[in-house]
Amino acid sequence: MQYPEDLRYTPEHEWVRAAGADEPVRVGITSYAAEALGDIVFVTLPEAGEAVTAGQPCGEVESTKSVSDVYAPVSGTVVARNQALDASPEVAGTDPYGEGWLLEVRPEDPAAVEGLLDAAAYAAQLPQQ
């Protein structure tokens, strides 16, 4: 599997796309997580205005196989959630780096994004396939 080089990653299989200084970051699940979950049937996410804490659960992705927590990659305030997933949750699995994004968060500390894993470090910590 390939992981986009322009993203940062968490060991819990979330990705973060930073738009620029003082801008919200976009968050989603990785293709590794999407493949492990299988067919996604329901997504629960926090509403805009809710605070999230790095490393803590902030939502759930339910598939035909299991229910998995979504962990906040950074602390901050949710500014948007992907409402399209309410009607089409499967998109989180079929297009995890595009239309299947989950949240946009305004980080308390924008520098925290740089502390996340790069693509090579993320891929290196995955079980060998």
pLDDT of residue 2: 80
Residue 21, pLDDT > 90, answer no
User: Tell me: the pLDDT tens digits for 25-42?
Assistant: 999 999 999 999 999 999
Look over the chain and give the mean of its residue pLDDT values, rounded to a whole number: 95
CA pair distance 105, 102, nearest whole angstrom: 10
Cα atoms in the Cβ-side hemisphere of radius 13 Å centred on 71: 13
**Tens-digit pLDDT profile for residues 65-109:** 999 999 999 999 999 999 999 999 999 999 999 999 999 999 999
- Per CATH, the number for 8-113 is 2.40.50.100
pLDDT at 19: 78
pLDDT confidence tier of residue 20, bands split at 50, 70 and 90: confident
Domain regions of the chain by residue span: 8-113
Supply the pLDDT for residue 1.
74
pLDDT band at 123 (very low <50, low <70, confident <90, very high): very high
